[in-house]
Amino acid sequence: MRVDVSAGERGPDPGGEKLLVVDDDPFIARLLEIELSAAGYQVRVANDGEQAIQLVQQDAPDLVITDVMMPHVDGFELTRLLRQDPRTAAVSVIILTARGLSADKLEGFAIGADDYIVKPFDTPELLARVRGVLRRSKEMKDESPLTGLPGNVRIQEEIEDRVSSGNEFALLYADLDQFKAFNDHYGFARGDQVIQELARTMENVLEELVPGDAFVGHLGGDDFVLVVPPSAAALVADTIVQRFDDRSPEYYDEADRERGWIEVLNRRGEQQRFPPLTISIGIASTQRRRFAHFAEVVAVATEMKNFTKSTPGSSWAIDRRTT
């Protein structure tokens, strides 16, 4: 890695954001730690993807800078795991690798990386990329630029307020099934249209069923969070599922709609068939239990959502366990 930094090019960053460097090469990891710390960031280092996951769960950073080629959990898998967990879905990721092939870059972006830097690189370039990713992340956390809905910070504040107030509520965590395949087949512009229309559908459903007593936010990608009264949770989820299923066929070209599937190249370069888009919704409710903090509510809703994903078609599931 080339290092070419002059004192005039590198000033302390006033934000002091938390960064996690993940690299199994101790020399590269230490060098990045020194340079990023000198720029004013709070830096921790993990030697592989497994250790990174542990550190993220202990204290989520603002940005993860990860190498791709690592034992056990590589950079792609680490990024995928971060994006699948709503508690870390908003963590920014820069993938760092010696592989500069377009296919590798596309894979990194497809699984949710925010930027991709090819080794060797100059330190000023790295710092500029870090600042750019963190700036975009701050803009997105207050409001999703794609849907205009509240972003991650507002979502967490809303849920924490509900928990601390002691008032009853239900949290719905929704995301789309087969959405990556849809994006790969039709392109991101078509995928963005689906996300925007789903956001409007959710807003309309809440306005019709629970006007003035509900909240909907966009975590990013195809992940949404809704907060409603417990008594309305099932009806809201069922209505969203029905309306999405009614609209879903129209997102496809006529030939694909008639076949009932699309074909997309998988990581092995083989054609794989994927069924139409569906939606899964997991619900955590205070109707039968109490929650102590934000993460507990999200974890239960995520568990229910993952359960619905194990069944074919659009569906929703509500947690009915007592505390």
Q: List, in order, residues 6 or more apart from 300 with CB less than 8 Å away.
A: 282, 284, 291, 319
Q: What is the pLDDT of residues 255-309, one digit of tens each?
A: 999 999 999 987 777 889 999 999 999 999 999 899 988 899 999 999 999 999 9
Q: Please check whether residue 73 is in contact with residue 50, taking contact to mean a CB–CB distance below 8 angstroms.
A: yes
pLDDT over threshold 70, residue 24: yes
The pLDDT score that the predictor gives to residue 13 is 43
pLDDT band at 240 (very low <50, low <70, confident <90, very high): very high
Gap between the Cα atoms of 118 and 104, Å rounded: 11
H helix count then E strand count, the chain: 11, 12
Full set of structural domains in the chain with CATH: 7-142 (3.40.50.2300), 152-318 (3.30.70.270)
Instruction: Enumerate the H helices of the chain as residue ranges.
Output: 26-38, 49-58, 75-84, 102-110, 123-142, 152-165, 179-186, 188-209, 233-247, 254-259, 294-309
State the pLDDT at residue 117: 86
Give the model's pLDDT for residue 19. 96
pLDDT greater than 80 at residue 323: no
Residues 38, 281: Cα–Cα separation, whole Å = 44
Q: For 95-125, what is each residue's pLDDT tens digit?
A: 987 766 666 677 777 788 899 888 877 888 8
The better pLDDT of the pair 84, 126 is held by 126
Q: According to the model, what pLDDT value does residue 101 have? A: 62
Of the pLDDT bands very low, low, confident and very high (cuts 50, 70, 90), residue 29 is: very high
Judged against a pLDDT cut of 50, whether residue 9 lies above it is answered with no
How confident is the model at residue 151, as a pLDDT? 86
pLDDT of residue 137: 81
Other C-beta atoms closer than 10 Å to the C-beta of 264 total: 18
Q: Is the peptide bond before 14 cis (omega within 30 degrees of 0)?
A: no
Is residue 300 within 8 Å of 319, Cβ to Cβ?
A: yes
Sign of the dihedral defined by the CA atoms of residues 270, 275, 277, 283, in that order: negative
pLDDT per residue as tens digits for the range 197-220: 999 999 999 999 998 889 999 998
Q: What is the pLDDT of residues 147-182, one digit of tens each?
A: 989 888 889 889 999 999 888 999 999 999 999 999
Residue 134 has pLDDT above 50, yes or no: yes
The model's confidence at residue 2, banded by pLDDT at 50, 70 and 90, is: very low
Q: Tell me which residue has tokens 């909240």.
A: 215
Least-confidence region, from 36-40, 142-146, 222-226, 290-294: 142-146
> pLDDT tens digits for 33-65?
999 999 999 999 999 889 999 999 888 899 999
The reported pLDDT for the residue numbered 100 is 61
Strands ordered across the beta sheet of 18-22: 42-46, 18-22, 63-67, 92-97, 115-118
